[in-house]
């Protein structure tokens, strides 16, 4: 199979990491062609775009208000030419110089629509990020299809590769959780999604309480759409109450926890507060 490769990267204020990521892509071994790199920047206010302009990549700039995950990715893929599209968050780090080769090897099977990989939390990740990543990105590779149980599938565009011909049939459509919806569509339409545990990347988030709450809100709104679930005030309050209870149990029972449990308990409650307050705001991007 003669593959041409394009990499699509989303950026917003990623000056600290973007150069190293692009250099690591270009240093990959055992691939026949150097990857084309397209970066979609959504209004960075640091030196991200200045750095990108020195690196010989294709840069697409959009306003911050125009951004959602599907819009950015679809713009980048439309500008690309590869028949295999690598998707990476700008704050990932490839752990191996054979990462691309391992990901691409699965596309010898024409039924494979997409491949995602193991994620390793950055050293500064908090306990919940570590536990989340360990739960969803295990040590064993596997395939997901209509014939398998897909409960544990966590297809992630933090570090993935998709077949262009499948994307052309079904581009990304969700404002968030676009990766989950796309992979589920692929499986329902007879394709295979692969989890590759032997090609890891570093990836995790370290965010303020309000931003963590916003990320969870985005995911729950996406679930509302995918499950045709009616969003009620009662559902939001129940989730806002249940989230800190579950997290506090982890804080006080886990031997992995490091730091002040009192301070972390306060953070749990603050995340819940912002979750309940900010969920009431209307976001037109979710009206599909």
Is there a single domain that holds both residue 102 and residue 241?
A: no
71 and 89: one domain? yes
Angle (deg, nearest 10), helices 233-253 and 261-278: 170
Residues 21 and 66 in one domain: yes
Statement to judge: residues 234 and 191 lie in one domain: no
188-216 tens-digit pLDDT = 999 999 999 999 999 998 777 888 888 78
What's the rounded Cα separation, in Å, for the pair 171 and 174? Answer: 10
Number of structural domains in the chain:
2
Within a 13 Å sphere around the CA of 114, how many CA atoms are in the beta-carbon half? 32
**233/186 same-domain check:** no
Q: Check residue 28 and give its pLDDT.
A: 95
97 lies in the same domain as 81: yes
Banded model confidence at residue 287, pLDDT cuts 50, 70, 90: very low
Domain match, 198 and 271 both: no
Residue 285 has pLDDT above 70, yes or no: no
- Same domain as 213, residue 198: no
Last residue of a domain, one of 157, 175, 202: 202
In this predicted structure, the answer to whether residue 11 has a pLDDT above a threshold of 60 is yes
> The pTM is what?
0.84
Evaluate if residue 288 carries a pLDDT over 50: no
Q: What is the pLDDT of residues 226-264, one digit of tens each?
A: 778 888 888 888 888 888 888 788 777 777 666 677 887
Whether 10 and 120 share a structural domain: yes
Buried-state track 201-210, b at ≥16 Cβ within 10 A, e below 16: bbbbbeeebe
What's the pLDDT tens digit per position in 127-161?
A: 778 878 988 899 999 999 999 988 889 999 999 99
Assess whether 12 and 126 both reside in one domain: yes
Tell me which of 166, 184, 202 is where a domain ends: 202
The mean pLDDT value for 164-172 works out to 98
Q: Which pLDDT value is given to residue 258? A: 67
> Which domain, by its residues, includes 182?
5-202
So what's the pLDDT on residue 286?
42
Same domain (yes/no): 253, 195: no
223 and 172, same structural domain? no
The pLDDT assigned to 167 comes to 98
More reliable by pLDDT, 215 or 182: 182
SS (H, E, C) 45-80: CCCHHHHHHCCCCEEEECCHHHCCHHHHHHHHHHHC
Mean pLDDT of 169-192: 94
Among residues 181, 202, 223, the one where a domain terminates is 202
Residue-wise pLDDT tens digits, 58-101: 999 999 988 899 999 999 999 999 999 999 999 999 999 999 99
Question: How confident is the model over 27-57, as pLDDT tens digits?
Answer: 999 888 889 999 999 999 999 999 999 999 9
Which CATH number fits the domain that encloses residue 55?
3.90.550.10
Residues in Cβ contact with 157 at an 8 Å cutoff, skipping those fewer than 6 apart: 69, 73, 87, 89, 116, 178, 179
- Please give the average per-residue pLDDT across 10-19, as a whole number: 95
């Amino acid at each position: 199979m003669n593959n041409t490769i394009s990499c699509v990267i989303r950026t917003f204020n990623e000056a600290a990491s973007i150069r190293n990521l692009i250099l690591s892509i270009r240093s990959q071994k055992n691939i026949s062609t150097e990857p084309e790199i397209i970066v979609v920047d959504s209004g960075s206010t640091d030196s991200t775009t200045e750095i990108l302009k020195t690196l010989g990549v294709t840069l697409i700039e959009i306003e911050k208000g125009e951004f959602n995950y599907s819009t950015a990715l679809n713009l980048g893929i439309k500008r690309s030419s590869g028949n295999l599209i690598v998707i990476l968050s700008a704050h990932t780090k490839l752990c191996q110089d054979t990462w691309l080769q391992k990901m691409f090897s699965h596309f010898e099977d024409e039924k494979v629509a997409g491949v995602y990989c193991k994620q390793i939390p950055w050293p500064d990740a908090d306990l919940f990020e570590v536990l989340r990543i360990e739960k969803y990105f295990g040590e064993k590779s596997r395939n997901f299809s209509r014939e398998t149980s897909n409960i544990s599938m966590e297809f992630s565009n933090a570090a993935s590769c998709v077949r262009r011909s499948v994307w052309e049939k079904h581009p990304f459509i969700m404002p968030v959780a676009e990766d989950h919806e796309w992979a589920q569509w692929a499986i329902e339409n007879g394709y295979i999604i692969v989890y590759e545990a032997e090609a890891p990347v570093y990836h995790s988030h370290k965010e303020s309480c309000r931003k963590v709450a916003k990320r969870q809100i985005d995911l729950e709104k996406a679930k509302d759409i995918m499950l045709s679930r009616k969003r009620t005030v009662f559902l939001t309050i129940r989730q806002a109450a249940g989230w800190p209870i579950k997290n506090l149990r982890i804080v006080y029972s886990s031997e992995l926890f490091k730091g002040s449990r009192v301070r972390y308990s306060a953070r749990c409650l603050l995340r819940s507060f912002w979750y309940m307050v900010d969920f009431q705001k209307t976001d037109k991007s979710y009206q599909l």
